[in-house]
Amino acid sequence: MAETEQSISLAGMPLHDVRAEESDEALPGDQTDSADADGWDTDLEVEDIGRRRKVGSAAELYLQACEIVGVIPATTYLRNLGNSTLNMNHHGLGPKGTKALAIALVSDIQITDLELEDNCLLPEGARYLVEMLKENFTIQSMNLSNNNLQTAGAESLAKMLMDNIAIKAIALSGNGFVDEAAKSLADTLANNFRVKSLDLSHNRFCETGGEHLGHMLASNESLETLDLSWNFLRMSGAVALCNGLKVNVTLKHLDLSYNGFGSEGALALGDALRHNNTLLSLDLSSNRVTYEATRLLCHGLAFNDTLRVLRLLHNSITSEGALLLLTTVRNNPKSALEEINISTVMVSEAFVELLLRMQQEHPVLDVRYQGVTGAFTRARKVDVMKVIQHFLQDRNQCLTDFFKSIDKEGTTQVHTSDLRKAIQQAKMPLDSFNIEMMIKKLDVDKTGMIDYSFTEQMEL
């Protein structure tokens, strides 16, 4: 091949430099160190960008890089040349495939969104991407989830984020990050005011990690979305994180589901909600939230005037806790809550009656719960489906169309809470008891979903 002896530039890196690295041979006159200060041979030195002739096209550049590195080209990249989004999730690139891609991306000014989830990048692959991002300032969003980047990869990315001015969203879910990795990322993001969305879910952050992330939240002034679900944040880590949230001024969406906040974390979170005035949605599902923890959380909800969405699924809230939560919201005239999801909780008759009164005053409020415990004693049983049918017939509507109007996705299934809300908004002559009895009968498996295909038979 003619190029073997030529100094053809691959995005500013001589082709023979790559060849030399692959054979572990030093080249005469090569002034580039073979390893950086950390002992990493990144092979993506780009200091002389623009001083050498570029390969004719991006496709040729990538193909030559693959040949030199010794990997099979990914046709997905070639097919998406010129697009703003490059989705190469689940392509099995590995570190070498990532190196070839990084060489091509150095000079690719079209791509703004880079998807590389589940490619076994490892820390080595992360370093290749970091070297590329020293020169590429068009990529704004990166998904590097599930790549086993480990602490070394987190440290590389943290260093990159100190200088990169383009990245606004980065997903790093499922990378085996531990508390040490949390420190590297938190130290950088405490001063990085460009990243707006960060996904660190499905990692291994514990108490110390929560403390680092809490300090970051106290200083950061750009993050709007943070996903910390499926970690091990609890006790001092949960408290420290909430202390940071308490003074944070930009975060809007926070996912803390599947951690272990418990009562101690709920107390700190309640205090944070009392003072924070930017958070719009909070997911605290599966966090060991008991009745006592709900009571502590309500100390903050009683004063909060910005939170719109609260999710508390898979917790031991109890029907008493659910009633306390709803009462707290009603007694806060400034509450902005529009959605409360406790769809794994059985509530009481008193809860349903209070909710009906609240929805008359605030029709936008959507509260999802599993069902009603006990029995309604002051109601008369009626054939609810017949009542609904007659109500709709008087308005020239049919039962199937009514269910379809609720089913926005066309799955022939509706959520029980959506059905309740639709009946209430239509002002059908049904009380809470009969609505709940109908839902209990239709939702046989207690999944919270109702298959309404049966309605066609009722109308025959």
Q: Does residue 395 share a domain with residue 314? A: no
Q: What is the pLDDT of residue 4?
A: 30
In angstroms, the Cα distances linking 284 to 141, 217, 227, 337, 340 are 26, 18, 11, 15, 11
**Cβ atoms 220, 190 nearer than 8 A:** yes
Q: How far apart are CA 294 and CA 321, in angstroms?
A: 6
Q: Rounded to an integer, what distance in angstroms lies between the CA atom of residue 228 and that of residue 210? A: 10
Is 396 found in the same domain as 362? no
The pLDDT value given to residue 456: 56
pLDDT band at 15, cuts 50/70/90? very low
Residue 234 gets which letter from DSSP?
B
363 and 280 assigned to the same domain:
yes
Q: Do 244 and 265 have their domain in common? A: yes
Question: Mean pLDDT throughout 329-339?
Answer: 96
- Identify the residue with better confidence: 371 or 331: 331
Residues of the domain holding 369: 221-374
Asked whether residue 71 is assigned to any structural domain, the reply reads no
Question: Is residue 121 in some structural domain?
Answer: no
| 341/255 Cα distance (integer angstroms) | 14
Same-domain pairing of 270 and 332? yes
Residue 168 lies in a domain: no
Domain-terminating residue out of 349, 374, 399: 374
Which of 307, 280, 277, 293 lies closest to 238, judged by CA? 293
pTM assigned to the model: 0.79
Same domain, 239 and 362: yes
More confident residue, 460 or 199: 199
Are the CB atoms for 181 and 213 separated by under 8 Å? Answer: no
Share of the chain above pLDDT 90, in %: 64
Q: What CA–CA distance (Å, rounded) separates 174 from 166?
A: 24
Structure confidence at residue 374 (pLDDT) = 66
Q: In angstroms, what CA-CA distances link 399 with 37, 159, 243, 448?
A: 71, 60, 51, 20
Same domain, 324 and 399: no
pLDDT of 435 strictly over 90: no
Burial class (CB in 10 A: 0-12, 13-18, 19+), 394: exposed
Residues making up the chain, counted from first to last? 460
Note whether 450 and 350 are same-domain residues: no
What is the domain-level CATH number for residue 414?
Answer: 1.10.238.10
114 is a domain residue: no
Q: Which of 151, 111, 150 is nearest to 133 (CA)?
A: 111
Whether residue 453 is contained in a domain is answered as yes
Q: Which of 28-37, 85-94, 242-251, 405-414 has the lowest mean pLDDT?
A: 28-37
197 inside domain:
no
Q: What's the distance, CA 120 to chain centroid?
A: 21
Domain endpoint, select from 374, 408, 426: 374
**Same domain for 281 and 344?**
yes
Strand, coil or helix: 199: strand
Q: Are residues 229 and 317 in the same domain?
A: yes
In angstroms, the CA 114 to CA 144 distance is 9
Q: Are 69 and 18 in contact (CB under 8 A)?
A: yes
Of 20-29, 110-119, 208-217, the one with minimum mean pLDDT is 20-29
pLDDT tens-digit map of 215-237 = 999 999 999 999 999 999 999 99
Q: Is residue 442 part of a domain?
A: yes
* 356 pLDDT above the threshold of 90: no
Looking at the structure, tell me whether residues 365 and 230 fall in a common domain.
yes
pLDDT per position as a tens digit, 254-270:
999 999 999 999 999 99
**What are the pLDDT digits (tens) for 288-314?**
999 999 999 999 999 999 999 999 999
- Residue 228, pLDDT score: 98
Q: Which region among 76-80, 99-103, 128-132, 398-402 has the lowest average model confidence (pLDDT)?
A: 398-402
Closest CA to 23 of 93, 64, 70, 84: 70
**Which band of pLDDT confidence, cut at 50, 70 and 90, is reported for residue 381?**
low
Q: How many domains does the chain have?
A: 2
From 347, 374, 401, give the residue that closes a domain: 374
* Bigger pLDDT: 206 vs 7: 206
Dump pLDDT digits (tens) for 114-154. 999 999 999 999 999 999 999 999 999 999 999 999 999 99
458/460 Cα distance (integer angstroms): 6
Q: What is the mean pLDDT of residues 42-71?
A: 66
Residue 86: pLDDT above 60? yes
pLDDT category, 55, cuts 50, 70, 90? very low
What integer is the mean pLDDT of 78-102?
Answer: 96
Residues 368 and 243 grouped into a single domain: yes
- For residue 236, what pLDDT is reported? 96
pLDDT in tens, 171-211: 999 999 999 999 999 999 999 999 999 999 999 999 999 99
Is there a domain that residue 228 lies in? yes
